[in-house]
Structure 1
C-alpha cells in the first residue's frame, strides 16, 4: 500500500502527550490513506514544542514490512538494525523470540519454506503514541497463506521493542493449541 498524507481536522484539545502541558501544536495534523499494495509512508510530523519528539510509529511499520520482504541478507540485516531495538521480543502463536538475531533467523527459515512469499498490510496501519497495529497478510503463490494482526511497541528512537502477534486466519492445518 502506498499512503498519501493529507490534511486532517485538528486534534481534540487535550494535554500534550509528552509534557502534559495545555494543548499546543504538537504536530502537523496528518492522516494517511491507502492507495496501493506497496507500503510507503511519508512522515510530515513536526513538533516545535518538542524538537526531540520520537519518530512517528508509521515509519516503524513501513520498515517492519520492508524487513519481512527483504530478499538479500545484507538488506535484512540493515533493516533489522533500523527497525528493531537490540532487546526486541516477539510473541506470536508460532514462536517466542528474543533479540534481533532470532527474528532474522525466523524470517530466514520462513523464506526457505516459502521463497516467493509477500508480507503486506491489509489496511492502513493504526498508530498512536508509541504503538502501532498492523493487520497483515502473507501471500504465497498468489494466494493468501495467512492473515494476522501485529501490535508493535516502540522506543523513543522509533525502533520496535516488542511485537505481539495474532493469527486472524491461520495457515491451513495450523492449530493455535499446538503452539501455546
Structure 2
C-alpha cells in the first residue's frame, strides 16, 4: 500500500464510522477526526458548509433512518486526492434501503474537505436528483 492509499483507506473507514455511529457524542468526536473544519457536503437533500453544519445534517438524517447502516458496495476508486465511494444503506431487516455514490476530496492530512453525494437508487418516494 502506498501512503496515499493508506490515507484514503483510513479516511473511508472514519467516514463510514461517522455515518454509522448512533451516539451523538461519538459522532461529534468522529466528525473532528473525519472532516476538515471547512468541509463542504453537497447532497440531493442539503448543502452543508463547515464541520458543525455537516454534523447537524447527519444528526437530522440519522433520526429519519435510525438503525440503518451505511456500507461500501465495493472498494473505493482513487484518483489523486479524490475518491469515489459507492455505498448502500441497509435497513434493520437487512433489506437495501438506498444506494449512492459519494465523491470525497481527502487532504494530505487525511481529513475529508469535500463530499458530493449522488443517489443511485433513492428510497421509495424520494427523487434521486434534486435541482
Contact (CA 8 Å) 1:153, 1:163: kept in 2 or not?
yes
Unaligned runs of 5+ in 1: 1-29, 31-44, 47-52
1:54 to 1:173, Cα distance in 2 relative to 1, 3 A: closer
CA RMSD of aligned residues (A): 1.8
**Which residue number in structure 1 is paired with residue 23 of structure 2?**
72
Contact (CA 8 Å) 2:121, 2:128: kept in 1 or not?
no
1:99 to 1:82, Cα distance in 2 relative to 1, 3 A: same
The separation in 2 between residues aligned to 1:90 and 1:111, in whole angstroms, is: 16
Among 114, 125, 129, which residue is 1:162 paired with?
114
**What is the aligned length?**
130
Q: Write out the 4+ residue segments of structure 1 that deviate beyond 6 Å after TM superposition.
A: none
Which aligned pairs between 1:9-20 and structure 2 lie closer than 5 A?
A: none
Q: Per residue, is there more helix in 1 or in 2?
A: 2
Unaligned runs of 5+ in 2: none
**TM-score (normalised: structure 2):** 0.90
**Which residue number in structure 2 is paired with residue 7 of structure 1?**
none
The separation in 2 between residues aligned to 1:100 and 1:54, in whole angstroms, is: 24
Q: Per residue, is there more strand in 1 or in 2?
A: 2
Greater RCO (CA < 8 Å, at least 6 residues apart): 2
